[in-house]
Amino acid sequence: MAEIAGHTIPNRSPLLAFFERWFLTTNHKEIGSLYLWLSFVLFFIAGAMAMVIRLELGQPGMQFTDPLFYNQMVTMHGLIMVF
């Protein structure tokens, strides 16, 4: 362990160091990378929601999901796509 003026610096776990580097950063390049990854993840989530919506609308009278869940999913799909 390193000593600075009589104080010891504790060793951090690699997981904690990873979390601090990527999720508590102020570096503009890392924030841009996080924003890009979030966009990709939300794109695939919204795409999956779109496929479920299309399944529901594929044939008249077909009930693939609960009506309340369908309305919530359409709303969430719209909010994600606006992002």
- Residue-level pLDDT at 4: 58
- Residue-level pLDDT at 68: 92
Q: Residue 38 half-sphere exposure, CB side, CA atoms within 13 Å?
A: 11
The reported pTM is 0.70
Q: d(Cα 61, Cα 33) in Å, to the nearest integer?
A: 44
- Residue-level pLDDT at 72: 95
Tens of pLDDT, residue by residue, the chain (83 residues): 555 566 666 677 888 888 888 888 888 999 999 999 999 999 999 999 999 999 998 888 778 888 899 999 999 999 999 97
- Residue spans per domain, the chain: 12-82
SS3 content of the chain, % helix, strand, coil (to 5): 65, 5, 30
